[in-house]
Amino acid sequence: MMATKTARASLLDKPNGKFVVGQYPVPTLKSGEVLMKIEMCGICGTDIHTWRAPAEAVFGLEYPISLGHEISGIIESLGNGVTTDSVGTPVKVGDRIGVIPAIHCGKCYFCRIAKTPEKCTDWKTYGTWPKADQQPHFTGGYGDYLYLHDPGSFFIKSTTTAERTAFLEPMAVVVHSMLHAKIKLGDTVVVQGSGPIGLLTTACAKLAGASVVIATGRSNRARVELAREMGADHVILAADMPSEEDRKRFVFEKSLNNVGADVVINTVGTCEAFKECFNFVRHSGTIVEVGNFVDSGTFDFNPCTQLCERGIKIIGSFDNEAEHFVRAMPLIADKRIPLEKLITHRVPLEDVEMVLGVIEKGQKLDNREIVKAMMVPDISERKS
Ligand SMILES: [Zn+2]
Ligand SMILES: [Zn+2]
């Protein structure tokens, strides 16, 4: 079957390589498949790690790949038999959907017995799979289309705008760690980090009933100010409070009964940030680690004095799965969370590599800090 229409996809040619925008034939759907016209795709720091990873670290990925996993789009066409989204809501051409990029097998021990599909042993994900210069193409968010061709694909109808729907995937990461955190009414919560995941976590901690939320940041004043807008009661900018002891004292002073935070959630990908969680958490409190999904090293740890004697719980939260997306949808639609304020830049497809480079170096783009840059296929010029 020859497709006549073509559309663009930006493909990363090799580990540490170049993003090349090419034209590929738009597929004709087989039964059960969905073609999504991408409206917006969040440009995410995770993509920098995949981009820069040495070849041996991305064993199993076949290049070129199409990155981009924070995807909002409109159903362009539906294959035979597709009448609902993956949770049974009726869908039709023209509806906005959010997609769960990861595809879990549903058969392995982790999918079926442990019920932690995010640790599926036969895991793959749109945004790195499959090899994108051959059929089916359109396998990631940095393009005009996403082609949901795998029978295990999971998508849900959106109840909100394109801008907000592009936050569905990061919000699902946050929902996952929030479920681990088990925040109770009246809790004091410290959120380490004010990047997109930290900011969403701050908003969710407040919605979950925390009475005091303290957000931290290293040096970026604009981001901790955004944390206040997301609901933080207090912020710590390490640049203003360089002493570790002072930061610890601040958290204790602001916490209920001055005993430290009930819950500390680390969204920063450094060892130091995780280590500092132990200064903030109260005895018998909880630390949830979500930031260190890339190896940032090790530190000395005393299991007696730091863990057992203090009765602390430490929980690692990795990626997300269907339940987290279903729970994330009403949150991204909730106007109490001013998600629009996180979008600092909208860029055309050709700019993805440049923007990833700017984020990597921690630089400004068009004289503004990047909080969340969105790739918008239908624009030809950057908007800040
Ligand atoms: Zn992401
Ligand atoms: Zn599985």
Q: How far is the CA of 348 from the centre of ligand 1 (A)?
A: 18
Confidence at residue 257, expressed as pLDDT on a 0 to 100 scale: 92
Q: Relative to the alpha carbon of 123, which ligand is closest?
A: 2
Q: How would DSSP label each residue in 94-113?
A: T-EEEEE-EE--S-SHHHHT
How far, in Å, from the CA of 41 to the mean position of ligand 2?
26
CB 171 within 8 A of CB 331: yes
CATH class belonging to 6-159+338-375? alpha beta
* Residue 319 alpha carbon to ligand 1 centre in Å: 9
Short-list 382, 47, 45, 372, CA closest to 223:
372
CATH 3.40.50.720 domain span(s) along the chain: 170-316
Alpha-carbon distance of 3 to 26, in angstroms, equals 6
pLDDT at 135: 84
Rounded to the nearest angstrom, the distance between the alpha carbon of 152 and the centre of ligand 2 is: 11
Give the fold, CATH level 3, of 170-316. Rossmann fold (3.40.50)
Distance 173 CA to ligand 2 centre (A): 18
In the chain, the largest separation of any two C-alpha atoms, in whole Å, equals: 70
381, amino acid identity? E
d(CA 143, CA 22): 9
Q: What is the pLDDT of residue 283?
A: 98
Neighbours of ion ligand 1 (CB under 5 A): 44, 46
What ligand has the least distance to the C-alpha of 116? 2
Interacting residues of 324 by C-beta distance below 8 A, sequence separation 6+: 172, 173, 175, 176, 179
Give the single-character DSSP code of 27: P
Looking at all shown ligands, the one closest to residue 174's CA atom is 1
31 Cα–ligand 2 center, Å = 24
Q: Which amino acid is at 122?
A: D
pLDDT score for 1: 52
CA of 124 to the centre of ligand 2 (A): 10
Sequential pLDDT tens for the chain (384 residues): 555 799 999 999 999 999 999 999 999 999 999 999 999 999 999 899 899 987 777 767 889 999 999 999 999 999 999 999 999 999 999 999 999 999 999 999 999 999 999 999 999 999 988 888 888 899 999 999 999 999 999 999 999 999 999 999 999 999 999 999 999 999 999 999 999 999 999 999 999 999 999 999 999 999 999 999 999 999 999 999 999 999 999 999 999 999 999 999 999 999 999 999 999 999 999 999 999 988 889 999 999 999 999 999 999 999 999 999 999 999 999 999 999 999 999 999 999 999 999 999 999 999 999 999 999 999 999 998
